[in-house]
Amino acid sequence: MIPKMIPVSSSNVAEVGYNEETQEVYVRFLNGTLYVYKGVPKFEFEGLLNAPSVGSYLHRNYKNVYPYERIE
């Protein structure tokens, strides 16, 4: 189940959400695609949410760290 999504200010990302139970981060990009990153600790989601650049943080801290898949 997709959690409540939080809009973010980004040139690439529209909104993000976190499911604490499954440790999954959901990222919807401005082009409408939705990805889920798995096994992400809560502090890492909070880091993403509060990053000065959401896109850069995602690329630096998520891309080659957590398994992810496109779901939409």
Answer yes or no: are the C-beta atoms of 68 and 39 closer than 8 Å.
no
Boundaries of every domain in the chain: 6-70
49 pLDDT exceeds 90?
A: yes
Other C-beta atoms closer than 10 Å to the C-beta of 48 total 22
pLDDT tens across 16-42, in order? Answer: 999 999 999 999 999 999 999 999 999
Answer for the pair 49, 6: CB distance below 8 angstroms, yes or no. Answer: yes
Q: What is the mean pLDDT of residues 5-17?
A: 97
